[in-house]
Amino acid sequence: NINVHILGLNLMYLLVENNLSEFHSELELLTTDQASTPYISFPITLERQLMVGSYDEVLNAKSHVPDPSYSFFMDNLLQTVRDSIADC
């Protein structure tokens, strides 16, 4: 379904931009069926991993993107994660 694919990409964008309030607002608008698709569950899982500091899991997620279109956002997100680790 192209709709959930676009919604998932938007969630990835919000993660990269660190706009977590809008990320969570968007999640509230999703149905259970939408949230269970790989396109949506992938950014949800990433956000949870980022919140608990599981950076190694975020780094490994690049090889498990639900669609190649997610790679652009993953590259940006991984750079942010690397910068955060370097700042520690």
Confidence (pTM): 0.91
| pLDDT, position 10 | 97
Per residue in 2-49, pLDDT (tens digit) is: 899 999 999 999 999 989 999 999 999 999 999 999 999 999 999 999
- Give residue 11's pLDDT: 98
Q: Which of 41, 85, 42 is CA-nearest to residue 63?
A: 42
pLDDT for 83: 79
Instruction: Return d(Cα 1, Cα 25) in angstroms, integer.
Output: 21
d(CA 81, CA 16): 10
- Check pLDDT > 80 for residue 85: no
Q: Which helix (H) or strand (E) covers residue 34, if one does?
A: helix 32-35
